[in-house]
Chains A and B, each alone.
Chain A
Amino acid sequence: MLLVLSEEHKEHLAFLPKVDTKVVGEFGRITMEFLRRGTSPKIYEGAAKKLCVPVEIVQHGVEGLMFLMLESSKHMLSEVDFLDSVLVLGFDEELNQILLQLYLQHHNQIRSILSHLPSSLPAYHNLEWRLDIQLASRLCRQQVIPMLTMRLLLTRGCDSHSDYSSRVLQADPSTLLYLISTLEAALAAIKTSHGRRILRNIK
């Protein structure tokens, strides 16, 4: 597929051919930093001073570059598609190649950053368990009740690097066996012909 760039976007990117290729590389670095950690006006000011252009031009150039990288990574553009999309900007071959290299180098990283954006349900992290035998309680002496106590650790929504939420749960042995058989059936579902067909054909 090809990217369709808006007029405004093309305008912003029009700044790139006017500068040295080293500068384009520098912009690429600023772009990646922007995606990883955000940006500060100082960076733009510094670059603008060095190049003797207004700050907005630098800012737009970087943002334009960043948006180009983001959209290409989001859609997993192939090399050919990327070059074709960039063709419309009318840059020379060398600049196109630089942009392509930038894209190829970073698109996996960009995709992984993007994948952390959507808010997600809590995800499984770990299960800790122990087997206890209850011998007595306040109202009942002389018991022999086997009990499985478990701690389920789940990630909290969006960021998988944040704390985990933990729940303490108990199950008796028969419930445990039921859980195992149900989840084994779940695992088998991926391997059915229907499952395989979908996984193969939707790419």
Chain B
Amino acid sequence: MELSESVQRGLQALADASSFDQSSFQALIDVSHRSLLSSHGDPAVLDHPELKQIDQILLKQVHTAATTFILEAVKQNADKSTISSSLEELTFSAEKIEIFYSIYQKHKKELEHLLASIGRRPAQINDISWRLQYHMKNGQVDKVNEPFYSISLNSEKDGCSEDMNFTCTMEQLQDLVGKLKDAAKSVEKASQM
């Protein structure tokens, strides 16, 4: 895994047994994971009893390095051997590597989810609702007597929900359903490859 110099330095400080014993190391790794997953930035995130003894500036540098390392590992979908060898190079002891990896494993899926959800994409379809109506007459024409559907498609983009309303005749709805079924068939075929 490629890491910048400042991250490497921060991690080396974390590896140093004189600055971080096993319990404070575990506390820091735990806190680092939680701070990534919490939805609000919390200024008190580093206020852990185990971490009170440590120089606050060093603590911040180490926290930054650890969170960067965690995110990089999730991004690359790094396996255990990759993480272990990276940490070994940075002079981490075998016990610290184990502690790190077990906490990382616990939170990995959630972190993956979080990263996958960040980014731009087209509006996602959430829901569809329909009404079947019978058009009898209107101001211009009498005796229309045709059934039609009112469809409402709900989609979401960047947290904003939007409704798309449109009408269709029975033939048009059959066309729409036919096309959706073609799409579903192609998904099924692709999944069997």
Contacts and interface: CB of A to CB of B under 8 A. Distances in A.
Interface in A5-57: none
Interface stretch (A58-66, A79-87, A93-101, A136-144): A136-144
Contact of B132 (A148, A186, A202): A186
Nearest to A154: B166
Given A138-B119, A142-B76, A176-B180, 6 more contacts: A76-B143, A115-B140, A121-B165, A129-B182, A141-B75, A179-B180
User: Which 7 A-B pairs rank lowest in CB-CB distance, beginning with the nearest?
Assistant: A124-B168, A142-B77, A139-B115, A171-B125, A186-B130, A117-B140, A122-B166
Given A127-B180, A169-B123, A203 B145 contact: yes
Nearest to B130: A186
21 contacts: A74-B140, A74-B142, A117-B140, A123-B166, A131-B183, A131-B187, A152-B153, A169-B153, A170-B122, A171-B124, A171-B125, A173-B184, A178-B128, A179-B125, A179-B180, A180-B180, A182-B130, A183-B173, A186-B130, A187-B170, A187-B177
A141 B132 contact: no
Nearest to A203: B145
A196 to B, nearest CB: 10
B136 interface: yes
Contacts of A126: 175
A171 B124 CA distance: 6
B116 interface: yes
Contacts of B141: 74, 111, 114-115, 117-118
Contacts of A186: 130, 132, 149, 151, 173
Contacts of B52: none
Given A141-B77, A176-B180, A75 B174 contact: no
A143 B116 contact: yes
Interface in B110-158: 112, 115-116, 118-119, 121-126, 128-130, 132, 134, 136, 138-145, 147, 149-151, 153, 155
Nearest to A1: B142
A161 interface: no
Interface of B: 74-77, 112, 115-116, 118-119, 121-126, 128-130, 132, 134, 136, 138-145, 147, 149-151, 153, 155, 164-168, 170, 172-177, 179-184, 186-187, 190-191
Nearest to A192: B132
Contacts of A88: none
A199 B133 CA distance: 11
Provide the main secondary structure of the chain B interface: mixed
Contacts of B186: 131
B179 A129 contact: yes
B95 to A, nearest CB: 29
Interface string A90-122: 000000000000000000000100110110111
Given A75-B142, A139-B75, A170 B121 contact: yes
Contacts of B129: 182
Nearest to A139: B115
Contact of A195 (B126, B132, B183): B132
Contact of B150 (A118, A121, A145, A172): A121
B173 A124 contact: yes
B123 A183 contact: no
B115 A140 contact: yes
Nearest to B114: A139
